[in-house]
A and B are shown apart, each in its own frame.
Chain A
């Protein structure tokens, strides 16, 4: 079936360090991979996305990489700050009208 695995489920880093969250998808037809950030008590918000024809995308301190052969994609946050603390969800789109979410990673950045 279609599923997205996300690791780790929790991640603690020191302020200024980097954080990496990895996701693996099962359906090779997936062609769109968004990442959402959900701060405590708030709604998920799109922070970055990548399409299958691109291997890497950056936006300031965040970047996403995609390895279609291995069917995995990762979120990289550099120079982490306390305000990066949140739950991050990856997702994959196995067909045009569908989006499958990972189980989330709780990131804690300690000052």
Chain B
């Protein structure tokens, strides 16, 4: 079974631009979560989608948005990029939504975004 895939793997953008990242979950998984990973901040939760609906949201500004398609693939969009948005963006898929103890999250390889 193929793992979680993310595209692109690397991205360089300039301030003010927008970016769209893509995540394909493991086949059969319906939940996709997005995280921002920066040195010293660990994994910061962005949002989670399940059955095309956003079910959870972290403490990020409205510039960060996402969506999920009927095939469970998810996209994350960041508008008006800032230097501080440079990070590794990880998505994780799981079979279900809750409880967390019942469904292991499988992470993708991440998209490394650099904003100059």
Contact = CB atoms under 8 A, between A and B. Distances in A.
B99 A96 contact: yes
A45 B107 contact: yes
A93 B99 contact: yes
Interface stretch (A13-21, A58-66, A69-77, A100-108): A100-108
A89 B42 contact: yes
Given A43-B90, A43-B109, A97 B42 contact: no
B109 A97 contact: no
Nearest to B35: A101
Nearest to A31: B101
Nearest to A104: B42
A102 B42 contact: yes
B62 interface: no
A26 B99 CA distance: 19
Interface residues of A, number: 24
Interface of A: 6, 9, 31-32, 34, 36, 42-46, 49, 51, 89, 93, 96-104
Contact of A32 (B48, B56, B99, B109): B99
B41 A103 contact: yes
A89 B43 contact: yes
Interface in B61-113: 90, 97-101, 104-105, 107-110
Given A43-B107, A44-B90, A46-B105, A99 B45 contact: yes
Contacts of A99: 33, 45, 100, 105
B100 A98 contact: yes
B55 interface: yes
Given A43-B110, A101-B42, 17 more contacts: A31-B99, A32-B101, A34-B100, A36-B107, A43-B109, A44-B90, A45-B107, A49-B101, A51-B101, A89-B43, A96-B98, A97-B98, A98-B45, A99-B105, A102-B42, A103-B41, A103-B42
